[in-house]
């Protein structure tokens, strides 16, 4: 009889243990772990070994954008390295997660694995980063946050909902998910589960050797049937987004990377409570990130801006005005520095060397203000860029930031 009681006792204990383990595993998806505890349990080639867990030395970045397909193409990477080696460029921005919501390396974040959100377009990203570092090139990972149809479809309870179903035409659909003008679903920026998911990805990417994590689409949607949108939190949008910036700043503390946030170009010209109905204000972010990158593409400013019929035809004037109006946000007492995205694509005007240079010159009037060139097709040349003096010393294969390179600082 005693043995039977013991058997019942151990059966109860084992059942309780299994139930507890099940609950823990299910809770994993939304947990915000400490930096050390969140390190993926697979071999990581830490390319910052010479600095331990510290960030790489800061530098004034002059970079360009690459898709995951471009970064995973050895011939394209060689082309970009050759361009950077001969010009003032010193950085690349590489997609690790874009508007699709896919993660472009073999992520081990539990929820990424569970919903199968990885597609390794970057191939051997660790080797690619090392190759770029060998040419003294600063490497930034770009991570789209709230425009994430993959996660929205996999976890519809975390998605932005619609009053009528949220198709492009705002007609009812069975899933009740809101969709923008391109038919894409978004995750709800008010959901902390989404915040934790993106933080886990960013912290994992930091261990791959990137020098910086750049967060894009850190906002509420702007295009589509906006009257149909339903959020799970009814506070002011800038209050919610301000909390997210603070969350990311705290969550990335201790990571061996710098962090940056992309914003609409108009944030430089807004004041007070004006968040453009997308939740973005510079003042809410300047103390929680290292860099803010307003997307100051002249073609994206409306006709009549600065009394210009076509602002795209006057890139110098547009950038100069935006930098002047936004300068007051960035002071010696704030953490962030400004580093705008500039137009390197044809829209509204042909963006030749003169127009690209006009933008750069306006930015470089401000000390330590770097810049990034955007061309979605990744078609770049030395047009508008300073070409290094042929007698300038070659770049070192080590981190020698700020090395004198003749006409290329």
- Which comes out higher in pLDDT, residue 407 or 114? 114
Strands (E), 74-195: 91-97, 138-144, 161-162
Q: What is the average pLDDT across 348-354?
A: 98
**C-beta contacts of 104-108 below 8 A and 24+ residues apart:** 104/68, 104/72, 105/205, 105/208, 107/201, 107/204, 108/40, 108/41, 108/42, 108/204
Domain 47-374 has what CATH class?
alpha beta
Angstrom distances, CA of residue 339 to CA of 41, 63, 297: 35, 10, 13
Instruction: Tell me which residue has tokens 């243990």.
Output: 17
- How confident is the model at residue 367, as a pLDDT? 86
pLDDT in tens, 291-343: 999 999 999 999 999 999 999 999 999 999 999 999 999 999 999 999 999 99
Helical H segments across 164-231, by residue range:
192-206
E strands, 186-281, are 212-216, 229-230, 258-264
Q: What is the DSSP letter of 103?
A: B
How much is the pLDDT for 172? 37
């Amino acid at each position: 009889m005693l043995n039977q009681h013991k058997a019942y006792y151990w059966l109860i204990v084992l059942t309780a243990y299994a139930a507890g383990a099940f609950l823990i595993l299910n809770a994993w998806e939304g947990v915000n772990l400490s930096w050390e505890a969140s390190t993926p349990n697979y071999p990581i080639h830490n390319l910052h070994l010479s600095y331990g867990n510290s960030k790489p030395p800061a530098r004034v970045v002059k970079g360009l954008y690459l898709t995951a397909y471009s970064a995973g193409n050895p011939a394209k990477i060689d082309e970009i390295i050759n361009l950077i080696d001969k010009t003032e460029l010193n950085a690349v921005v590489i997609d690790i997660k874009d508007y699709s919501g896919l993660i472009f390396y073999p992520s081990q974040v539990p929820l990424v694995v569970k919903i199968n959100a990885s597609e390794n377009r970057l191939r051997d990203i660790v080797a690619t980063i090392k190759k770029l570092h060998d040419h003294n090139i600063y490497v930034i990972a770009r991570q789209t946050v709230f425009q994430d149809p993959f996660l929205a479809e996999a976890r519809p309870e975390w998605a932005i909902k619609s009053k009528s179903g949220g198709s492009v035409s705002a007609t009812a659909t069975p899933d009740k998910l809101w969709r923008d003008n391109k038919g894409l679903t978004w995750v709800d920026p008010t959901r902390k589960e989404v915040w934790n998911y993106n933080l886990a990805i960013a912290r994992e990417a930091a261990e791959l050797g990137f020098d910086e994590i750049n967060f894009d689409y850190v906002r509420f949607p702007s295009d589509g049937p906006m009257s149909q949108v339903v959020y799970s939190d009814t506070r002011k949008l800038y209050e919610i987004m301000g909390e997210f910036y603070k969350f990311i700043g705290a969550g990335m503390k201790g990571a061996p990377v710098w962090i940056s946030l992309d914003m609409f170009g108009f944030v430089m010209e807004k004041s007070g409570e004006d968040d453009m109905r997308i939740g973005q204000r510079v003042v809410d972010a300047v103390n929680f990130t290292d860099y803010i990158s307003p997307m100051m593409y002249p073609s994206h400013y409306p006709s009549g801006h600065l009394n210009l019929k076509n602002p795209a035809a006057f890139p110098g004037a547009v950038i100069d005005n935006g930098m002047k109006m936004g300068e007051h946000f960035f002071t010696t007492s704030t953490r962030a520095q400004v580093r705008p995205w500039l137009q390197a694509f044809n829209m509204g005007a042909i963006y030749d060397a003169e127009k690209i240079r006009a933008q750069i010159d306006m930015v470089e009037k401000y000390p330590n203000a770097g810049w990034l060139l955007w061309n979605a097709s990744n078609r770049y040349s030395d047009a508008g860029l300073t070409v290094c003096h042929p007698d300038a010393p070659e770049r070192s294969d080590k981190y020698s930031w700020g090395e004198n390179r003749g006409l290329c600082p």
